[in-house]
Amino acid sequence: MVARRDSAVGEQVPAEAKKATKAAEAGAAARSAAAEEPGGKPVRKSAPKKAAPAGKAAPAGRITPAGRAAPSKKAAPSNSEPAVKEGPGGKAGDKKPPKPPKTESRTALVRRARRINRELAEAYPYAHPELDFENPFQLIVATVLSAQTTDLRVNQTTPALFAKYPTPEDLAAANPEEVEEILRPCGFFRAKTKSVMGLSKALVEDFGGEVPGRLEDLVKLPGVGRKTAFVVLGNAFGRPGITVDTHFQRLVRRWKWTEETEPDKIEAAVGALFPKTEWTMLSHHVIFHGRRICHARKPACGACPIAPLCPAYGEGETDPEKAKKLLKYEKGGFPGQRLKPPQAYLDAGGIPAPPLGAG
């Protein structure tokens, strides 16, 4: 009898627990049930919570974002995989990858680069060095002065300089203070005075007052690096050279012609894409484009003649009407940088730059 009563009592406990769990799931009665049976509640509710992920009701909320097809076996790896799969594999991820261009073969790169140069040649058939000069001496001095200033400012300054000191001998023997006063509009006029006077003395002492026509001789002159040397060689002597200035560096990297950052390495990388005979005009085409359309901060992508070939298309303004407002110099109807530009430039609608002090 005792055994039966004990068993009866044992049977009554789970019956009450079942009622409590049912009352808890019912809604409003769950709160009173929780207060009446504190000892049984945590035990009974903790068990279903742990068992729930294996069931159908609880996992539904967790499995939904990953998909119904993913069973419990794939649930563990999916915790680390969704970020990888949903990011690059999703629609949003597919829109961003085009920024780094698709890998292209060497042959494809050469073809694209040369086609860009051909397109630029059609857009700028009048491309030329934007420094006024009449002889190699004037060009090398003007190029040295163009550091840290615009070609326009140099072109507005050099007429007075060359009128007073037309030869290397004249400039080498000049009064530094007088030269500084003439060069003041160029900025850094004291340092530039030392450079052009030192350059003139070197020409007189080492080269008989003549500008040498060899790269190895030019780079020995004070203030003359490879960039200046190639400007002189290509435009005063007709010897091919690539001018790696700030515009050239910016554009060839935008076009993915090279990932190099040092001028010498950029020169070598780009030079390998083109015949040597095209180097000088290539430099003019790229620099013209960088100054007129493909600006550093806000390129006029919507008005760019090589947009279909450019991996960086979209970095600037793509709306054609808005892009037109960003164009500079002759492309925008404004004066150029040379006071005495080539006739071809004038024939194409180019406007000469105003002299210094003309507003």
Residues 224 and 261 grouped into a single domain: no
Q: Does residue 149 belong to any structural domain of this protein?
A: yes
Q: Does residue 228 belong to any structural domain of this protein?
A: yes
Residues 178 and 200 grouped into a single domain: yes
Residues 262 and 218 grouped into a single domain: no
Q: Does residue 345 belong to any structural domain of this protein?
A: no
Residues 210 and 247 grouped into a single domain: no
Number of structural domains the chain divides into: 2
Residues 182 and 250 grouped into a single domain: no
Range of the structural domain that residue 153 is part of: 132-239
Instruction: Report residue 25's pLDDT band, with 50, 70 and 90 as the boundaries.
Output: low
Which residues are catalytically annotated?
A: 227, 245
Write the CA distances from 105 to 99, 253, 265, 286, 304, integer angstroms.
18, 17, 20, 23, 25
State the pLDDT at residue 22: 52
Please identify, among 174, 208, 239, the residue that sits at the C-terminal boundary of a domain: 239
Whole-number Å distance between alpha carbons of 313 and 324: 15
pLDDT in tens, 200-235: 999 999 999 999 999 999 999 999 999 999 999 999
Residues 249 and 221 grouped into a single domain: no
pLDDT in tens, 40-72: 444 444 444 444 444 444 444 444 444 444 444
Concatenated DSSP letters of 94-135: HHSTTSSPPP--HHHHHHHHHHHHHHHHHH-TT---SS--SS
CATH number at residue 322: 1.10.1670.10
Residues 230 and 250 grouped into a single domain: no
**Both structure tokens of 217:** 């001789």
